[in-house]
Amino acid sequence: MYLTDMQVVSDLIDYFYGGEDAMLRFDTIKEALAAYRESIQSVDSFSDIYTYNQKTEHGVPELLVGGIISTDAIVDVI
């Protein structure tokens, strides 16, 4: 599992629909992609997720998981 900064993803979505002028946090798509790449951190547990969110400047963490997650495997929302 990996966590990334969802605020960066938001700027990337803005870029996709509105171009570089629509991005709020970055001046270019290259800057946004670099920030996204830098924000990716591996996590192994709920505790890691909590720590990532508390000890970083990331606004809203996004959890990335490879594979399919069944709905009964989701046990908590932070």
pLDDT, one tens digit per residue, over 6-45 is 888 888 888 888 877 888 888 888 888 898 888 888 888 8
29/18 same-domain check: yes
Please, how many CA atoms are within 13 Å of residue 30, restricted to the half-sphere of its CB? 0
Token pair 């599992």 in the structure block, residue: 1
2/33 same-domain check: yes
Q: At residue 1, does pLDDT exceed 70?
A: yes
Q: Locate the DSSP E strands across 1-78.
A: 2-5, 41-42, 61-64
Q: Are 15 and 22 in contact (CB under 8 A)?
A: yes
Number of independent structural domains in the chain: 2
Q: Are 41 and 50 in contact (CB under 8 A)?
A: no
32/45 same-domain check: no
Q: Which domain holds residue 50?
A: 40-77
29/49 same-domain check: no
Cα-to-chain-centroid distance, residue 13: 12
Overall pTM > 0.75: no
18/29 same-domain check: yes
